[in-house]
Amino acid sequence: MKIYPAYDPPEYREWQPDPKVMADYSARMGEPEIEKSLQSLGEQGLENLYRGLIRARIHDITLKRWVRTGVITKAWLGTGEEAVTVGACHALGDGDVVGPMIRNAAATFERGLPMEESFRSYLATGDGVTKGRDLHFGDLKYGVVAPISHVGDLVPVCAGFALSFQLRQEQKVALTWVGDGSTRTGAVHEGLSLASARRLPLIVMVQDNAVALGTRRDPRLDDSLRGMAASYGVTGLECDGNHILDVHACVRQAREIGGDGEGRVVLLA
């Protein structure tokens, strides 16, 4: 039989692990916070993390195939950035709320929505959560806020959720992801300013992939991103966004800070 390139992503043929990446990953393993995450996850938790990574990749492979075979014209993928979404979701508690951008679509199914909802949204079928109206989807039943197309807007929305948790004295946090490019929007500024002033239990994960929709980021933004937490007077943490245990450890810490009433954390990944 023949394997058609449209169905078999070529990047998986003859794939070899990169020894440096593997070594860098392993070198972090003895660190105390990563050790704490390993303890809290246990064997089942680790397997669930792995399942989450695979689910995210399968989701993207499906969408990519659909684009290549003309089923849909465009898809937003999180390929290569799965850890930052999956690791974060697995560090949250049951009642916490997430606001994923479409690159974080995996957050929807890590929080319990069936993966089919993503496909229904892309196909605009009438039986989906958005009833075919939008490919941006979520479901508050699972604590997943649906994004809109405008990048950055989930920050003030999630700050609102965090405010409701604080007012009701609920030990919950709201977490959202924001791309490095999107950190420059007014909405992010507004949401972070509110979270800072009110010490809201909000975790903003800056997903710093050094591109904004394919446009390379100006390196002058590096210092600004690193100084972002300090400039808003919020706690800043940094993790390797490709290291799922490091991501888990950082979000776990951010959540503990939220639970202490200190609230707001900007996490640079």
Ligand X SMILES: Cc1ncc(C[n+]2csc(CCOP(=O)(O)OP(=O)(O)O)c2C)c(N)n1
Q: Of 180, 191, 201, 241, which lies in the binding site for Mg ion, with binding defined by CB under 5 A?
A: 180
> From the CB of 144, what's the least distance to Mg ion, in Å?
21
Residue 95 DSSP one-character state? T
Q: Which does 258 bind (CB under 5 to 8 A by kind): Mg ion, ligand X, none?
A: none
Range 212-251, binding Mg ion (CB under 5 A) = 212
Burial (CB count within 10 angstroms: exposed 0-12, middle 13-18, buried 19+), residue 86: buried
Give residue number: closest CB to ligand X. Answer: 179
> From the CB of 23, what's the least distance to Mg ion, in Å?
26
Give Cα 115 to chain centroid, integer Å: 16
CA-to-CA dists, residue 207 to 60, 225, 263, angstroms: 18, 10, 20
> From the CB of 63, what's the least distance to ligand X, in Å?
15
> From the CB of 51, what's the least distance to Mg ion, in Å?
26
Query: What is the rounded distance in angstroms from the CA atom of residue 179 to the CA atom of residue 147?
Result: 13
Question: Is the distance from CB of 142 to CB of 95 less than 8 angstroms?
Answer: no
Nearer Cβ to ligand X (80/114): 80
Site string for Mg ion, 43-62 (x = CB under 5 A): --------------------
Q: Of 52, 87, 143, 179, which lies in the binding site for Mg ion, with binding defined by CB under 5 A?
A: 179
DSSP 3-state of 257: helix
Residue 97: which of 201, 174, 204 has the closest Cα?
174
> From the CB of 217, what's the least distance to Mg ion, in Å?
7
Which residue ranges make up the site for Mg ion (CB under 5 A)? 179-181, 209, 211-212
